[in-house]
């Protein structure tokens, strides 16, 4: 370990030496008491003794707004912008912000490695600097001291008359080539205790959160919260985003842009039909805190908060995440017979080795241009589109999966695949007209082209269904994804037992797949039941909600697998109806709807507790989500 002495009078020369090699970004003062990370022109502008910057260095790797695609509406084509890579030096980074970068590395590489982020991240060098904790810092609770050198190439310790400069990596040593510094002649002064505010081990904190979903603190803090999203925007580990299309005034060209989004905003979980899955401020407050200390850490073993204190320091309502966590701990101790240990921080040390996880970075957001082969009007609001990929390539989907449908100028939307994998060369999308993109889609004709990404998500496990009786319970538009499963069973009929279809709709005018419904009704190997909430004068079938069909079913409970999809309100009543028949929970599968914006588990919109619907769903085994507060 090599430590050199950088005297205060040579700091500007040191910065100029760095500038001669690469662009340098460092903390600079903004206004009276704020600091920002910004490009360095004049070394005199650099401030190395600062409490925190408004935003972390995250903004240079995951920009607040970036162009993903540029498109031409007339040609219905797109291109990709060149990703700007600075190969910069980040000077004066605090240890908690470095740990935040390492956490982003992990999440943006997990499953699908994000090309744009890693193109900017790779090649960047980091020079850390020690800091004095203020009243908002609690990184010590996360095992991150002001002197933690994890992830850095060089590190500056504040000492009398300047800085002790520690060389950590070979790249850091190379930066110093040609800049002579004397060896540090004395040991570093003792660091002393660093500030901590939460003293509960991570293993015990997870236990606390398991019992805190209904804590009164969520409503209390929600009463003060204005849902502005500032806490999300300044957080160095938040990476949720939205994607929107912008079109020029000529309506000829445009761009598809990614921008930061915030789970504290009401519309974060809103889907096209208007359903908001986290509409209460208390639910959003709970989700934010659970995401930092429970949901992600269940997978990684460490909190996703790094204790920078920004969310509290910049909160207009003075909401403190530390106070919330300590309240949960105290309330849990009051209700628990055993007192939680208070002798160590949440985690002894944040996990090392996150930087640049293995795997090739991919272009995750560019669609394949496919052709509409046919369009069928099913109802006033629903159409069935037959789509063909280039060269007739197979989609290779499973029943229950979805694609991201892309229309330039309108954006993207998740659409369930409605055809069986047995249908070769083309696939079907059943689309209800509910918003801008779907309205535009309804105007398209055979021969027009659309963008397709996917297939995505978890579908129905056909191997678990084979040899079993299959009970389909579909409400409204929920028949669209279940049609894929129905036709898969029909195509391999001998592999399955009974096929029982229960289908409910608001009215007979809204019933889907008319010709196929007739075939199902006439097929002696299919038991088809249909009901409507209200019928027209011409309707001669059953009237009633879908749950009225369930009591009359004669089922072999041990042999039957139920596959359910419909509007959110339907699930609880269908589950109650099945429970009244003593239907085994382990034989129930649900397909859930959420705002699956990106499809690759990155944007955060579809998260249910610690599960991403676009990756772990839409099809879930009921026992796996039964206890998740946000699921049903």
pLDDT, one tens digit per residue, over 388-430 is 999 999 999 999 999 999 999 999 999 999 999 999 999 999 9
Other beta carbons within 10 Å of 611: 21
Q: Cβ neighbours of residue 365 under 8 Å, at least 6 residues apart?
A: 68, 69, 243, 256, 258, 453, 598
pLDDT band at 337 (very low <50, low <70, confident <90, very high): low
The confidence score (pLDDT) of residue 342 equals 56
Burial group, residue 20, by CB count within 10 angstroms (0-12, 13-18, 19+): exposed
pLDDT band at 302 (very low <50, low <70, confident <90, very high): confident
Q: What is the mean pLDDT of residues 524-553?
A: 97
Other beta carbons within 10 Å of 193: 8
pLDDT above 70: residue 353:
no
Contact 3, 159 (CB under 8 A): no
The confidence score (pLDDT) of residue 193 equals 61
pLDDT digits (tens, 9 = 90+) for 115-133: 999 999 999 999 999 999 9
The confidence score (pLDDT) of residue 194 equals 65
pLDDT above 90: residue 180:
yes
Q: Is the dihedral of CA 271, 484, 379, 550 positive or negative?
A: negative
> Look-up: residue for tokens 């399955």?
496
Q: Which two tokens stand for residue 425?
A: 């060369």
**E-assigned strand segments in 21-169:** 24-30, 34-39, 65-72, 77-79, 89-93, 125-129, 154-159, 162-167
Of the candidates 529, 469, 471, the residue with the CA atom closest to the CA atom of residue 505: 529
Q: Which two tokens stand for residue 276?
A: 């908001």
Query: What b-and-e string marks burial along 348-384, b requiring 16 or more CB atoms within 10 Å of the CB?
Result: eebeeebbeeeeebeebbbbeebbbeebeebbeebbb
Cis peptide before 618 (omega within 30 of 0): yes
Q: What is the mean pLDDT of residues 267-294?
A: 93
Name the H helices within 433-525. Answer: 436-442, 462-465, 479-491, 514-522
pLDDT above 90: residue 147:
yes
Q: How far apart are CA 414 and CA 594, in angstroms?
A: 9
The confidence score (pLDDT) of residue 272 equals 84
Contact 607, 625 (CB under 8 A): no
Of the candidates 478, 397, 386, 479, the residue with the CA atom closest to the CA atom of residue 428: 386
Residues belonging to the chain: 632
Please give the mean pLDDT across all residues of the chain: 93
Angle at 573 between CA 571 and CA 579, to 5 degrees: 100
Distances (CA, A) of 307 to 304, 321, 335, 366, 532: 9, 10, 27, 36, 54
Ordered strands of the 449-456 beta sheet: 411-416, 402-407, 449-456, 368-377, 382-388, 427-432
What are the beta bridge partners of residue 607? 612
Q: What is the mean pLDDT of residues 330-341?
A: 77
Distances (CA, A) of 400 to 370, 479, 480, 563: 21, 11, 9, 10
Q: Cβ neighbours of residue 73 under 8 Å, at least 6 residues apart?
A: 247, 251, 252, 253, 254, 408, 409
Q: How far apart are CA 59 and CA 69, in angstroms?
A: 19
Q: How far apart are CA 342 and CA 340, in angstroms?
A: 6
The confidence score (pLDDT) of residue 340 equals 66
The confidence score (pLDDT) of residue 348 equals 40
Half-sphere exposure of 210 (CA within 13 A, CB side): 9
What percentage of the chain exceeds 70 in pLDDT? 96
The confidence score (pLDDT) of residue 298 equals 84
Contact 322, 135 (CB under 8 A): no
Q: Which two tokens stand for residue 394?
A: 């197979």
Q: What is the mean pLDDT of residues 296-310?
A: 90
Q: Is the dihedral of CA 609, 612, 613, 617 positive or negative?
A: negative
pLDDT band at 350 (very low <50, low <70, confident <90, very high): very low
Of the candidates 537, 535, 528, the residue with the CA atom closest to the CA atom of residue 505: 535
Indicate the range of 168-172, 204-208, 394-398 predicted with least confidence: 204-208
Query: What b-and-e string marks burial along 294-323, b requiring 16 or more CB atoms within 10 Å of the CB?
Result: bbbbeebebbbbbbbbbbbbbbeeebbbbe
Q: How far apart are CA 128 and CA 150, in angstroms?
A: 9
Between 627 and 150, name the one with better pLDDT.
Answer: 150
Rounded to 5 degrees, φ, ψ at 433 are -80, 100
pLDDT band at 186 (very low <50, low <70, confident <90, very high): confident
Q: Which two tokens stand for residue 75?
A: 């040609």
The confidence score (pLDDT) of residue 336 equals 72
Q: Give 420-436 as a 3 state SS string.
A: CCCCCCCEEEEEECCCH
Indicate the range of 280-294, 358-372, 529-543, 554-568 predicted with least confidence: 358-372
> Look-up: residue for tokens 């744009």?
116
pLDDT above 70: residue 3:
yes
Q: How far apart are CA 39 and CA 488, in angstroms?
A: 58
Distances (CA, A) of 42 to 14, 250, 448, 606: 12, 42, 55, 44
């Amino acid at each position: 370990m090599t430590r050199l002495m950088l005297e205060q009078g040579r700091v500007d020369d040191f910065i100029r030496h760095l500038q001669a090699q690469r662009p340098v970004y460092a903390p600079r003062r903004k206004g009276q008491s704020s600091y920002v990370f910004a490009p360095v022109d004049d070394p005199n502008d650099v401030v190395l003794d600062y409490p925190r910057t408004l935003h972390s260095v995250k903004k240079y790797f995951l920009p607040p707004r970036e162009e993903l695609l540029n498109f031409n509406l007339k040609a219905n084509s797109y291109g990709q912008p060149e990703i700007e890579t600075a190969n910069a030096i980040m000077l004066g980074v605090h240890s908690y912000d470095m740990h935040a970068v390492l956490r982003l590395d992990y999440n943006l590489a997990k499953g699908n490695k994000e090309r744009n982020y890693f193109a900017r991240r790779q090649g960047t060098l980091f020079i850390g600097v020690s800091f004095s904790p203020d009243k908002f810092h609690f990184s010590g609770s996360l095992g991150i001291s002001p002197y933690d050198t994890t992830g850095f190439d060089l590190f500056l310790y504040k000492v009398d008359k300047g800085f002790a400069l520690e060389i950590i990596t070979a790249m850091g040593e190379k930066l110093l080539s040609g800049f002579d510094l004397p060896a540090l002649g004395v040991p570093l002064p003792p660091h002393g205790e660093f500030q901590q505010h939460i003293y509960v081990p991570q293993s015990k904190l997870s236990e606390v959160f398991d019992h805190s979903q209904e804590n009164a603190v969520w409503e209390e803090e929600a009463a003060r919260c204005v849902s502005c999203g500032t806490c999300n925007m300044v957080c160095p580990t938040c990476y949720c985003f939205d994607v929107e299309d912008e079109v020029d005034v000529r309506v000829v060209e445009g761009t598809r842009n990614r921008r930061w989004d915030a789970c504290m905003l009401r519309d974060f979980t809103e889907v096209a039909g208007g359903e908001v899955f986290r509409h209460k401020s208390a639910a959003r407050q709970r989700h934010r805190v659970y995401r930092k200390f429970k949901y992600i850490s269940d997978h990684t073993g460490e909190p996703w908060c790094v204790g920078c204190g920004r969310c509290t320091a910049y909160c207009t309502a003075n909401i403190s995440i530390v106070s919330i966590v300590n309240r949960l701990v105290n309330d849990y101790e009051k209700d628990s017979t055993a007192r939680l240990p208070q002798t160590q921080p949440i985690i002894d040390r944040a996990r090392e080795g996150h930087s640049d996880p293995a795997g090739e970075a991919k272009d995750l957001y560019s669609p394949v241009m496919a052709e509409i082969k046919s369009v069928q009007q099913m109802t006033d609001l629903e159409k069935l589109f037959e789509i063909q990929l280039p060269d007739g390539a197979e989609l290779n989907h499973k029943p229950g999966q979805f694609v991201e449908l892309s229309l330039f100028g309108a954006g993207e939307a998740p659409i369930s695949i409605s055809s069986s994998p047995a249908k070769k060369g083309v696939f079907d999308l059943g689309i209800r007209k509910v918003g801008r993109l779907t309205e535009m889609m309804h105007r398209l004709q055979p021969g027009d082209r659309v963008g397709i990404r996917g297939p995505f998500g978890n579908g129905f496990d056909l191997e678990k269904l084979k040899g079993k009786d299959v009970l389909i319970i579909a409400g409204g538009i929920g028949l669209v994804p279940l049609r894929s499963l129905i036709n898969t069973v029909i195509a391999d009929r001998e592999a399955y037992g009974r096929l029982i279809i229960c289908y409910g709709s608001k009215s007979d005018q809204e019933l889907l797949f008319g010709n196929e419904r007739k075939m199902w009704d006439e097929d002696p190997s299919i038991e088809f039941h249909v009901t409507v909430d209200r019928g027209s004068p011409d309707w001669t079938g059953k009237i009633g909600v879908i749950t009225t069909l369930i009591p009359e079913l004669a089922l072999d409970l041990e042999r039957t697998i139920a596959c359910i999809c419909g509007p959110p309100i339907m699930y609880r009543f269908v589950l109650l109806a099945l429970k009244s028949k003593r239907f085994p929970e382990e034989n129930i599968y649900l397909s859930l709807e959420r705002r699956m914006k990106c499809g690759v588990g990155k944007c955060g919109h579809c998260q249910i507790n610690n599960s991403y619907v676009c990756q772990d769903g839409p099809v879930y085994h009921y026992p796996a989500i039964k206890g998740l507060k946000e699921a049903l």
